Amino acid sequence: MPSAIELREVCVDARGGSRILDGVTLKIAGGESVAFIGRSGAGKTTALRLINGLVRPSRGEVLIDGVPLGSTDLIALRRRTGYIIQGSGLFPHRSVYDNVATIPRLLRWPEGDTRAAADEALRMIGLTGFGNRMPRSLSGGEQQRVGIARAIIASPSILLCDEPFGALDPSGGGCAGRLVHEERGPGGAGADGGFTMVSDILHMTGEHMVIVLVSVVAAIVIGVPLGIWCTRRARAGGVVLRVVDAIQTVPSLALFGLLIPVPFIGGIGMRTAILALILYSLLPIVRNTVTGIRGVDPNVRDAGVAMGFTPRQLLLQVELPLAMPTIVAGIRIATVVGIGLATIAAAIGGGGLGTLIFRGVAMVDNRLILAGALPAAGLALLADIVLTLVERRLLGTMKDER
């Protein structure tokens, strides 16, 4: 069964006095996949080594299933933890088969089960017939694949991956990625340790919907009043529209990256993704609000003024109702575009269906790419249909009233 991992205010100091990790607090639920993103030297490998007990924190504590690492049997923990080491870390004096079979033998599996699991792992990784070869006779990519097979052969409850696919070519990366998500070990597959595709799709679809819903609602709350203000202040409104237009010209991935270092509102995760989508959603909402209000028949507006409507009453009872179909069209565009752009949120740890797409691209696995792309396309089509019906309903109501 997957294990839960927790880091509490963990600090790691280097020998020279510099700090590698400073006050890291993190919770990873059992079965959850988490990626550490950062530049070289940011402490990603150190964080992985902390979880495996290879590095001790200078301050704070690491817990596995609620138990502090200092109170844990590290030998037992490491035998149920798969660790794909950067650079493979193969034993040079052992054959490929003996390297892959290391953990099953430490766990005293029957030799027949060990042999069957190792042969299957080598087949899946594309190295059938390589069992008797020595690591020095393999290419860098082949050594990395052996390291992946060695790490996952015993269905570990924790899998630590330190740049597992960096040395692989596209075809090797695809095979390796699929193997990482397959279960290994005697007794076949079990629901607890495997890659549950349907569960992942449902979970990430939910994340995707939250990102889009929150960003579009926030954009409506900001954009509609801003559009109204632009119609009341012609010069200043023109400046605002040009600024909103300029935001739309920034490449989406670049905008995500630019927001990461912004204090208080930036960082890695869903918050930054939502902020970026709010900025992208403003243009169609603001511009359609301006267009809708300015498109109101001047005679109708004059009639309202002539009857003694206050500016507020004129806005709420005449201009906004007549502009609503155009505003809804802007909301529809913002929603559909937001659903597509939200897939990029995975690049900065924002979650959503883009996680499956990025994972599939990295592993050259079309199944994973489609698992993320098809639900995203379905959400976009559904949103477009629903909001188009709302738009037509509003237009029909206006025609009936005329």
Instruction: For residue range 36-69, list pLDDT tens digits in order.
Output: 877 777 888 888 888 888 888 888 989 988 888 8
Name the average pLDDT for the chain.
Answer: 83
- State the CB neighbour count (10 A cutoff) for residue 129: 10
What backbone torsions phi and psi does residue 314 show, to the nearest 5 degrees? Answer: -60, -40
Torsion of CA 289, 292, 297, 301, to 10 degrees: -20
- The DSSP element (H or E) to which 9 belongs, if any, is strand 5-13
User: Distance (Å, rounded) from C-alpha 321 to C-alpha 301?
Assistant: 12
What's residue 290's pLDDT? Answer: 94
pLDDT digits (tens, 9 = 90+) for 262-295: 877 777 778 888 999 999 999 999 999 999 999 9
The answer to whether residue 382 scores a pLDDT higher than 60 is: yes
Structure tokens at 174: 């695809």
**Mean pLDDT for the stretch of residues 175-185:** 46
The DSSP bridge pattern shows strands 81-84 and 158-161 to be parallel
DSSP structure string for 340-363: HHGGGGGGGT--STHHHHHHHHHH
What's residue 179's pLDDT? Answer: 46
The answer to whether residue 106 scores a pLDDT higher than 50 is: yes
Q: Please name which of 159, 152, 93, 167 lies closest in space to residue 120, comparing C-alpha atoms.
A: 152
Q: Please name which of 319, 333, 348 lies closest in space to residue 383, comparing C-alpha atoms.
A: 333
The answer to whether residue 175 scores a pLDDT higher than 80 is: no
The answer to which of 69-78, 168-177, 201-210, 352-361 has the lowest mean pLDDT is 168-177
Ordered by where they begin, the domains of the chain are 5-180 (3.40.50.300), 197-401 (1.10.3720.10)
Confidence band of 258 (pLDDT split at 50, 70, 90): confident
Q: What global pTM score does this model have?
A: 0.56
